C-alpha cells in the first residue's frame, strides 16, 4: 500500500509538471485534504521519505531545469546589468582525482555569467599529479589561475593562499570536487544588482553522486544566528565580500574541517544581519560518496570538535562567558549551546500566567508540574479564573491558594484570552512572564531553566518550547506564517524521536512566532509592545500577533527543543475554527500582517505553505 501511494504521488507530480495550467485548480480542490495528508505522511515516515525523494526529482524537472530559451533570457539580463562584479572562486585542492577536478572546472566554464576567475591552490599534493591538467586549463582559459604550495599546510592555509590570489569584488568558496549549477554565479550577480552592499550570500544546495544523480536537498531558512550555532547551514554555496574577508584575516588555523563554520560565524557577526542574503535556489551540488572521501567524511569526529571549538570561540568573542557547546542530544553531529543563566542574586524571577475555567484534573496536573516537578525557585503562579463553577475546581483553587507561590485572580465574563493574560501581567512581580495553558504538563525538571537561558539573552524577544501530544507526537516546534491563511505549527504530528528536516526538530532555531500555550518573555518586552491585543484578537492568533510585533522591534523569537512539555491541545476549550468571531480575527490578521504572512524569513519558498514541514511546491 505504501509503495502504491508513493508511486501515485510521483505520477501525479509528473502529470502536473507536464500540465502546469491545471496546478492551481487542483491545488485549490485538494486544499481541505492537505492537513489530513500531512498527518498521514507523519504517521508513515518511510512513505514520507520515499515520497520526498520522488518529489525532488519531479521538482528538478519542473522548477530547476533550463532550456536554451531560459539561458538566452539570463544572458539578456546579464547584458543589462549596470554592474558586472568580478566573482573570484577560491578553490583549495589536494590529491584530487583528475576527473573530479575537471568536472568542477567544467561547471565553472559552463556558467551563464562570464565574469569570474578561478583561484586554485594545490596544497602540495604528493607526486604533483595535477600540474599538467591545471597548466592546460589555465592556458586555454585566462580566467583560470593556479599555484602550488611548496609544502602542505592544511585546508585553512590552502584556502588563505587561494584568497590571496583573488581580485574580485566577492569571493565564492568551492570545494575541488563539487559542481556549481550553471546559473549559480548569475544568481549571485543578480542579487548584487539589488543589494550592492551585500556582504554574505548563501544558497540552497543538494548532493550529487558519481552518475550525476541529485538528491538530499537542503532548502534553507533565512539568516538565523541560533541555527548557525547549531550547524554550519550556510555551507554551500557561500559568497563573501572580499573586503570583509580581508578585515577578518581569512581562515584561522586550528579549525581544519570546520574552518568554513568558523569563518561564517565571524563574518556574519561582523557584517550584521541586514547585509546577509539568502538565495532560495539550489546553486551548489555537493559530491558525496566518491572514490576519495572528503575531509568531513573521513574525519567526522575532528570536524565536529572543530565546529564546537569555533562556536565556543565565537560566543567568547561576543562577550558570552560560561556557555557550554555540546553535541545536540538527538543529533550529535550538530551542536547544542547551553547559555549561562543570569549571574545575579537572587535568581531571575518568573511569573507564570495560567488562564483557566473549570477542568480541575487538567489544572491539578499543570500545577503539580509547576510546583513540584520544575527546578526553579523564584516562581510565582497567577491562576486567572474565568468563571469556574465546578465544586472540584473551586476546592482545588482553595488548596492551591494556600501555597505562597500561587495567586488566584478571578475575572468573570466572556472568555478573552488576551484580556485575561494582560490583567495578570499587570499584577505580576516577575522579571519574566510565562504564558502557559492549563493543559500543559511537565516532562522534565530543567525545562524552565532552559527557556530562561534564552529569554534573558538581550537579542531574544520571546521563547517557545517543544510541545508533544499525549501520544508523544509533536504538537508544536515553532510557527510558520501563511499556513492556513495566517499561521500553522511546523512539524505537527511528527514522531517524538524525529530529528526533523536537517535537524530542525533537534536544534534551537529562530521562528516567525511561537505558540502562546508556552511562551516566555521579559516583562519589559511584553510592556514595550503593549501586551496581547484584547480588542481585535481576544482568542485566536494573539500569540502570533505578539511575536510579530516583538520582531518589529528588532528582537528575535526562538524555539528550543531542549524545553519539552506535554500539551493536550485545546483540551479545555476544543477547536476555535468554528467559533463565532474566529473569521473576524483571521481576517484582521490578514489585513494587519498581509505582507509578513507571505514573507516568513524562516520558511523556504520552495516548500508548500499548506504544509511547512517540508513538502515541495511544484
513 three-state secondary structure: strand
Residue 571 banded pLDDT, cuts 50, 70, 90: very low
Residue 289 banded pLDDT, cuts 50, 70, 90: low
Task: Please state, as a whole number, how many other Cβ atoms lie within 10 Å of the Cβ of residue 317.
Answer: 11
Residue 584 has pLDDT above 50, yes or no: yes
Evaluate whether 167 touches 85 at the Cβ level (below 8 Å).
Answer: no
Comparing CA positions, the residue from 226, 208, 206 lying closest to residue 218 is 206
Residue 5 banded pLDDT, cuts 50, 70, 90: very low
Quote the pLDDT of residue 208: 95
Between CA 453 and CA 462 the distance in angstroms is 11
DSSP state letters, 406-438: EEEEE--SS--HHHHHHHHHHH---SEEEEE-T
CATH architecture of the domain 78-292 equals: Alpha-Beta Complex (3.90)
Quote the pLDDT of residue 128: 78
Quote the pLDDT of residue 614: 59
Between CA 594 and CA 597 the distance in angstroms is 5
Quote the pLDDT of residue 18: 42
The owner of cell 559552463 is: 110
Residue 396 banded pLDDT, cuts 50, 70, 90: very high
Residue 570 banded pLDDT, cuts 50, 70, 90: low
Exposure string (b/e) for 201-228, b if CB count within 10 Å is 16 or more? Answer: bbbbbbbbeeeeebeebbbbbbbbbbbb
Percentage of the chain surpassing pLDDT 70? 88
Evaluate whether 208 touches 288 at the Cβ level (below 8 Å).
Answer: yes
Quote the pLDDT of residue 611: 56
Residue 42 has pLDDT above 50, yes or no: no
Quote the pLDDT of residue 35: 43
Quote the pLDDT of residue 345: 55
Evaluate whether 564 touches 465 at the Cβ level (below 8 Å).
Answer: yes
Quote the pLDDT of residue 490: 85
Task: Please state, as a whole number, how many other Cβ atoms lie within 10 Å of the Cβ of residue 494.
Answer: 26
Domain with CATH 3.90.550.60 in the chain: 350-597
Quote the pLDDT of residue 343: 78
Residue 608 has pLDDT above 50, yes or no: yes
pLDDT digits (tens, 9 = 90+) for 436-485: 999 999 999 999 999 999 999 999 999 999 999 999 999 999 999 998 88
Residue 19 has pLDDT above 90, yes or no: no
Pick the CATH number of 350-597 from 3.30.2130.10, 3.90.550.60, 3.30.420.40, 3.40.50.300: 3.90.550.60
Residue 488 has pLDDT above 50, yes or no: yes
Quote the pLDDT of residue 491: 86
Instruction: State the distance between the two ends of the chain, measured CA to CA, in whole angstroms.
Output: 24
Which of 29-38, 179-188, 328-337 is least confident? Answer: 29-38
Residue 290 banded pLDDT, cuts 50, 70, 90: low
Residue 510 has pLDDT above 90, yes or no: yes
Quote the pLDDT of residue 21: 46
The pTM score is 0.90
The mean pLDDT of 399-425, rounded to a whole number, is: 97
Residue 129 banded pLDDT, cuts 50, 70, 90: confident
Residue 581 has pLDDT above 90, yes or no: no
pLDDT digits (tens, 9 = 90+) for 331-390: 999 999 999 998 765 578 999 999 999 999 999 999 999 999 999 999 999 999 999 999
Residue 34 has pLDDT above 50, yes or no: no
Domain with CATH 3.90.550.10 in the chain: 78-292
Residue 573 banded pLDDT, cuts 50, 70, 90: very low
Quote the pLDDT of residue 48: 67
Residue 23 banded pLDDT, cuts 50, 70, 90: very low
154 three-state secondary structure: coil
Amino acid at each position: 500500500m505504501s509503495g502504491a501511494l508513493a508511486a501515485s504521488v510521483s505520477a501525479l507530480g509528473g502529470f502536473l509538471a507536464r500540465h502546469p495550467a491545471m496546478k492551481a485548480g487542483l491545488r485549490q480542490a485538494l486544499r481541505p485534504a492537505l492537513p489530513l495528508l500531512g498527518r498521514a505522511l507523519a504517521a508513515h515516515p518511510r512513505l514520507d521519505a520515499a515520497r520526498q525523494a520522488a518529489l525532488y526529482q519531479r521538482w528538478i524537472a519542473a522548477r530547476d531545469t533550463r532550456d536554451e530559451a531560459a539561458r538566452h533570457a539570463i544572458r539578456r539580463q546579464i547584458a543589462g546589468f549596470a554592474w558586472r562584479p568580478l566573482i573570484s572562486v577560491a578553490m583549495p585542492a589536494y590529491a584530487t582525482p583528475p576527473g573530479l577536478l575537471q568536472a568542477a572546472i567544467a561547471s565553472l566554464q559552463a556558467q551563464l555569467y562570464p565574469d569570474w576567475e578561478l583561484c586554485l591552490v594545490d596544497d602540495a599534493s604528493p607526486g604533483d599529479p595535477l600540474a599538467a591538467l591545471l597548466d592546460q586549463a589555465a592556458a586555454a582559459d585566462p580566467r583560470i589561475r593556479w599555484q602550488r604550495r611548496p609544502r602542505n599546510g592544511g585546508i585553512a592555509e590552502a584556502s588563505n593562499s587561494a584568497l590571496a590570489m583573488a581580485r574580485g569584488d566577492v569571493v565564492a568558496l568551492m570545494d575541488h570536487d563539487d559542481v556549481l549549477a550553471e546559473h549559480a554565479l548569475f544568481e549571485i550577480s543578480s542579487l548584487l544588482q539589488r543589494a550592492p552592499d551585500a556582504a554574505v550570500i548563501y544558497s540552497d544546495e543538494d548532493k550529487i553522486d558519481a552518475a550525476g544523480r541529485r538528491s538530499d536537498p537542503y532548502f534553507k531558512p533565512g539568516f538565523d544566528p541560533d541555527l548557525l550555532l547549531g550547524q554550519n547551514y550556510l555551507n554551500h554555496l557561500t559568497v563573501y565580500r572580499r573586503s570583509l574577508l580581508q578585515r577578518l584575516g581569512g581562515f584561522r588555523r586550528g579549525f581544519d574541517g570546520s574552518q568554513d563554520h568558523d569563518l561564517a560565524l565571524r563574518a556574519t557577526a561582523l557584517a550584521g544581519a541586514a547585509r546577509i542574503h539568502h538565495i532560495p535556489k539550489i546553486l551548489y551540488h555537493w559530491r558525496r560518496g566518491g572514490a576519495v572521501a572528503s575531509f568531513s567524511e573521513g574525519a567526522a569526529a575532528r570536524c565536529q570538535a572543530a565546529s564546537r571549538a569555533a562556536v565556543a570561540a565565537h560566543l567568547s568573542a561576543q562577550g558570552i562567558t560560561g556557555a557550554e557547546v555540546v553535541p545536540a542530544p538527538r543529533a550529535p553531529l550538530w551542536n547544542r549551546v547551553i547559555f549561562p543563566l543570569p549571574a545575579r542574586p537572587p535568581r531571575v524571577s518568573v511569573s507564570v500566567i495560567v488562564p483557566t475555567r473549570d477542568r480541575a484534573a487538567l489544572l491539578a496536573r499543570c500545577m503539580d508540574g509547576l510546583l513540584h516537578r520544575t527546578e526553579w525557585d523564584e516562581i510565582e503562579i497567577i491562576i486567572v479564573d474565568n468563571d469556574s463553577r465546578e465544586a472540584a475546581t473551586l476546592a482545588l483553587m482553595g488548596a492551591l491558594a494556600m501555597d505562597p507561590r500561587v495567586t488566584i485572580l478571578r475575572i468573570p465574563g466572556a472568555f478573552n484570552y488576551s484580556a485575561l493574560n494582560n490583567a495578570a501581567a499587570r499584577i505580576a512581580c516577575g522579571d519574566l512572564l510565562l504564558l502557559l495553558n492549563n493543559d500543559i504538563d511537565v516532562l522534565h525538571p530543567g525545562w524552565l531553566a532552559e527557556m530562561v537561558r534564552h529569554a534573558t539573552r538581550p537579542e531574544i524577544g520571546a521563547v517557545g518550547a517543544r510541545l508533544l501530544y499525549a501520544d508523544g507526537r509533536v504538537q508544536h516546534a515553532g510557527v510558520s506564517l501563511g499556513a492556513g491563511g495566517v499561521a500553522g505549527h511546523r512539524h505537527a504530528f511528527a514522531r517524538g524521536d524525529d530529528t526533523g528536516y536537517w535537524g530542525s526538530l533537534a536544534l534551537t532555531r529562530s521562528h516567525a512566532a511561537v505558540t502562546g500555550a508556552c511562551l516566555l518573555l521579559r516583562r519589559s518586552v511584553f510592556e514595550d509592545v503593549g501586551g496581547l491585543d484584547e480588542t481585535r484578537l481576544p482568542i485566536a492568533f494573539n500569540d502570533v500577533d505578539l511575536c510579530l510585533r516583538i520582531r518589529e522591534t528588532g528582537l528575535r523569537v526562538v524555539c528550543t527543543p531542549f524545553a519539552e512539555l506535554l500539551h493536550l491541545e485545546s483540551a479545555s476549550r476544543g477547536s476555535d475554527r468554528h467559533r463565532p468571531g474566529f473569521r473576524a480575527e483571521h481576517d484582521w490578521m490578514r489585513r494587519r500582517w498581509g505582507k509578513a504572512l507571505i514573507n516568513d524569513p524562516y520558511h523556504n519558498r520552495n516548500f508548500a505553505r499548506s504544509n511547512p514541514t517540508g513538502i515541495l511546491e511544484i
